[in-house]
Structure 1
């Protein structure tokens, strides 16, 4: 198994019905590890995301990406193009079951990094509650790199 320190750039766009969409961008340091069935990408959340103390991990397999967050609030989301998965999402008010309906997913990750793009809907009670797209770019950390 190889393990690389990487720079992760994340751009997320979120839109809720009846509201103007918002874009979030984050650049952080993380770890990219090759696994027998794909890659694992992980990083610590910060105050910028409002989830300080949370470890975010993406398990990247051929046709499936699983996002796991472990910390104050735990969650797991499974993204598989053309499929709907039920996920549990912890909130300050308790756990919530949400549907993750992945419209499009593209993943091209190798030992030196790569890109992931996921376009999905969040569904609550079988109704679309939010439309999301996130793009993740991963590259090897070089001397002098400073995450913002």
Structure 2
């Protein structure tokens, strides 16, 4: 199968929920690529100053029931999402590494070479202490 990087527009909405506080929401519209692979799909885009991670490349790899989020550049991290399962990752910061537990409560997508939607809801625990619940929706629109 030929690997092809298709130009796409990504509409990203992330929300963070903390106890008894309105969700903190971030919205970003950015250009990226959608790559079809034998084992799934890959979405890639550059972070901006809006997300506080300028100089970082973010990649979502969707393979079967699992989504892997990788960041490389000014921020380096890897997070694995799989509905109903917990995965532990290392999160690099300028001040050192943290152990992060990701518990995914919902993972849905209908992505294809035409675009689609990826939705993930998860809770995050830093050094085994839950710090909040997060969700993000990424709408992928193929550019003509």
TM range (shorter): over 0.9
Which 4+ residue blocks in structure 1 deviate beyond 6 angstroms?
A: none
Of 11, 14, 17 in structure 2, the residue corresponding to residue 12 of structure 1 is: 14
- Secondary structure in structure 2 of the residue aligned to 1:82: coil
Normalising by structure 1, what TM-score?
Answer: 0.91
- Matches of 2:14 and 2:4, distance apart in 1: 28
Normalising by structure 2, what TM-score?
Answer: 0.94
Check whether the contact 1:58–1:65 (CA below 8 A) recurs between aligned residues.
yes
Root-mean-square deviation (CA, aligned residues, Å) is: 1.2
Q: Does 1:73 align with 2:69?
A: no
- Matches of 2:58 and 2:82, distance apart in 1: 18
Aligned residues: 142
Check whether the contact 1:75–1:90 (CA below 8 A) recurs between aligned residues.
yes
- Matches of 1:88 and 1:56, distance apart in 2: 16
Of 56, 60, 63 in structure 2, the residue corresponding to residue 61 of structure 1 is: 63
Unaligned residue ranges in structure 1 (runs of 5+): 143-148
